[in-house]
Amino acid sequence: MNGIRSVMASAILLCLAGQAWAANADVEAFNAAVARGDLGAATDAAVAVWPTVAGDAVNAPRLAREFGFAAYRAGRMEVAQRFAGFLAGPTGVPPSFDDEPAMSRVLVQLITWKSQPDAGGSTTLLDTLDARVAADATADAISIQAAREMLSDAWSRGAWRDADRAAGLLARLAGRAGATSLPLQRQAEIRQIAARFMDDRSVRQSDAMADLHERIVTDIERAGDPASRDRLQSVRYQTVAWISAIDAYLASDSQPGPKVTRTPADAAQRPPSLPRELREPRTVELQGPSAVPVLPRCRGGMNRVPKLKYPPDERYRGIVGAVVVSVALEEDGRVQQPRVLASVPGDAFDSNVLRAVNQWQFVVAADEDRTRCRVADGAYIINVTFMLN
């Protein structure tokens, strides 16, 4: 990622430039393994070179971070703990000559938390990340990895306030990492708003998600290349799904169903009298003078049989789910190539969507003139909402 420090592949070469190391071949092996994505081999090379590194060498903390992070990502926790032990020092304080002590503390706590997941280390790691983000205005791969894992862990546990906190940290770090990390920043912002909704079930979060959708549409329109636009478009669909889910939940007073768990604050919450219209990104149609005119899409809808059932996931009890699916339509209305674009509040809601959607069929409106419209479509979007009843 642009602007992110501590990427490993080039860092070690820079560390050792101009120095005669007995194990230089092992350092080169480390770099080569990282470059090709073989973190197991990189860890083996790190283990080989580390005994040749003087403990008080000025570059030792940086090497320990890179080697420890590679071992962590390879799942070699025993090796990662060795490097974490050096970075923590005998008193738990990074060496005085450590050039990035805040980053080292994050890696130490990340390895400690991963090694002892039941020891309550998530709060300590979040506190350490807070301090790292406050320490300077840069981003680094270690802190971003830690924030992503904290967010994933909190979400899986249904610990919505921890998820809110981790998502906020991730958004700030990604925002510092350059334009290529904009999709990650927006994804983190979506998760932060979503975590707040999961915690307070408030109409405020519907408005916040709609505001974020508008910012992402602007991002798409400003993106300089198709790949960036595609990544941001994928993120936009997540906001569409969340807005559908949140608004359906807020409108569920008349149909509470057996799954709803209402809070006292819900009584005062009402969805907007008119749902906010979501703006579509502007697109440029490239059509030459001799191009064959394309018929408009036929009006109609999906014959949604079989129907879908609410998933048995207690984390999402009482929440409306939404899944945005892209399909290709044949001219007879049959569905082909279904693909989930977004699923909220979690993937439990898309586990049976693809199987069901494959059996659905598009039905043209009875008053539509079939000679003046088309059904076949390579990118038809379906918004599936799991109602509470």
Q: Tell me how far apart the alpha carbons of residues 50 and 57 are, in angstroms, rounded to a whole number.
A: 12
- Region of 27 (left: φ > 0; alpha: ψ -120 to 50; beta: rest) is alpha
CATH 1.25.40.10 occupies which residues in the chain?
4-259
Beta strands, E only, 38-133: none
Q: Tell me how far apart the alpha carbons of residues 218 and 221 are, in angstroms, rounded to a whole number.
A: 5
pLDDT digits (tens, 9 = 90+) for 72-111: 999 999 999 999 999 998 776 778 888 899 999 999 999 9
> Taking the mean position of all CA atoms in its chain, how far away is CA 97?
35
Q: Tell me how far apart the alpha carbons of residues 102 and 105 are, in angstroms, rounded to a whole number.
A: 5
Q: How far is CA 323 from CA 197, 204, 218, 273, in A?
A: 17, 22, 23, 24
pLDDT digits (tens, 9 = 90+) for 198-252: 888 888 888 999 999 999 999 999 998 899 999 999 999 999 999 988 888 777 6
pLDDT digits (tens, 9 = 90+) for 358-381: 888 999 999 999 889 999 887 788
Question: In whole angstroms, how large is the CA radius of gyration of the chain?
Answer: 25
Q: Tell me how far apart the alpha carbons of residues 63 and 24 are, in angstroms, rounded to a whole number.
A: 13
Cα torsion angle, 170, 174, 177, 180, sign: positive
In which residue are the tokens 């009584």 written? 267
Structure tokens at 89: 């020092």
- Strands 139-140 and 361-364 turn out to be unpaired
Structure tokens at 331: 């001219």
| The CA-based dihedral angle spanning residues 81, 85, 91, 94, taken in that order and rounded to the nearest 10 degrees | -110
User: For residue 6, which of 96, 110, 90 has the smallest C-alpha distance?
Assistant: 110
Phi, psi of 324 (to 5 degrees): -100, 125
Strands across the sheet with 321-329, in order?
Answer: 335-344, 321-329, 377-386
- The correct CATH number of 300-386 out of 3.40.720.10, 3.40.50.1100, 3.30.2420.10, 1.10.730.10 is 3.30.2420.10
Whether the upstream peptide bond of residue 264 has omega within 30° of 0, thus cis, is no
pLDDT > 90: what percent of the chain?
47
pLDDT digits (tens, 9 = 90+) for 252-307: 654 333 334 445 455 455 444 445 678 878 754 333 444 456 788 899 988 877 77
User: For residue 151, which of 127, 136, 167 has the smallest C-alpha distance?
Assistant: 167
Contacts of 275 (CB under 8 A, 6+ apart): 247
Tally DSSP H helices, then E strands, for the chain.
13, 7
Q: Which CATH class is domain 4-259?
A: mainly alpha
- Strands 300-303 and 335-344 turn out to be unpaired
Q: Tell me how far apart the alpha carbons of residues 264 and 234 are, in angstroms, rounded to a whole number.
A: 35
* Model pTM score: 0.80
Whether the upstream peptide bond of residue 345 has omega within 30° of 0, thus cis, is yes
pLDDT digits (tens, 9 = 90+) for 104-156: 999 999 999 998 876 578 899 999 999 999 988 789 999 999 999 999 999 98
Angle at 47 between CA 43 and CA 50, to 5 degrees: 125
Burial of 115: CB neighbours in 10 Å, binned 0-12, 13-18, 19+ = middle
Contacts of 145 (CB under 8 A, 6+ apart): 69, 73, 110
CATH 3.30.2420.10 occupies which residues in the chain?
300-386
| The CA-based dihedral angle spanning residues 36, 41, 47, 53, taken in that order and rounded to the nearest 10 degrees | -30
Contacts of 377 (CB under 8 A, 6+ apart): 297, 328, 329
Q: How far is CA 234 from CA 98, 229, 324, 381, in A?
A: 40, 9, 10, 12
DSSP 5: E
